[in-house]
Amino acid sequence: MEQKTLLIECPDSKGLIAQITNICYKHQLNIIRNTEYVDPVSGQFYMRTRLEGIFNDHTFMLDLDRALPQGSERQLVSDRNKKVVILVTKEAHCIGDILIKVYDGSLKLDIAAIVGNHPELGALADKFGVPYHFVSHQDKSRAEHEKLLQQQIDLYQPDYLVLAKFMRILSPEFVALYPNRIINIHHSFLPAFIGANPYHQAFKRGVKIIGATAHFVTDDLDEGPIIKQMVTNVDHNYSAEDMARAGRDVEKNVLSKALELVIEDRVFVHGNKTVVL
């Protein structure tokens, strides 16, 4: 028996769940797990269903199309590890955490390659047998550097790009190449403290919690759809450096959790928000 994941996003209407599950029954597909949500403001319906059985994808999807309202989006996803290319600069905590979790099987994805704009993390990639490409940004315009990045990335045709502390702002032209496929970790509980040096900003404000945010990258800096956020407590005894040190643990945990949600097809993007089922 094969297992697949059915993803549906559409305008809500009466009897939708019954119609969908009846089609699953018609095709002799067993529902292992089902989660749904209706946005009370937009009236948008979301459904994630784990199915088991013998699939005829074409006829199954045709039957769904006849039942679903106009403007529906649906996808039947086969079980496989998603392929990622990870972009890095110099900081090792996020990429190190991902490499370890992939190595021990707790994060089920394939790291096709790591691309860095500095050479320092090449040795770490080598320890895990992952190809490392050093693409320097020195003496290059942003457009020239991004063209070189794109050439390396597209060799691997990844499902997602992961910015594991890649400390470069990407142009709208580059982001448009990978819509809703670039995942970033920002060292702040967005929308607070956008941009550079958020821990110093937080220290000056005397905050009592600090956090990190994993989000999809859009043209608006640090304002893309949020996937996952976490926080940790701090107090007046913490210096900005203490906050940064505590924040690194939060950053790596948030990024790996966000990756887990994305690769399990739990994240729906609608406008500038996400629904996570």
Residues forming the active site: 222
Report the candidate in 243, 146, 151 with the shortest Cα–Cα distance to residue 199.
243
Strand partners, 87: 115, 163
- Rounded-to-integer distance, Cα 273 and Cα 159, Å: 20
Nearest to 159 by CA among 181, 190, 192: 181
- DSSP 3-state of 174: helix
Spell 61-97 as b/e; 16+ CB within 10 A means b: bebbeeebeeebebebeeeeebbbbbbbbebbebbbb
225 cis-preceded (ω within 30 degrees of 0): no
Please give the radius of gyration of the chain, using alpha carbons only, rounded to the nearest integer.
21
Residue 166 CA from chain centroid, whole number: 15
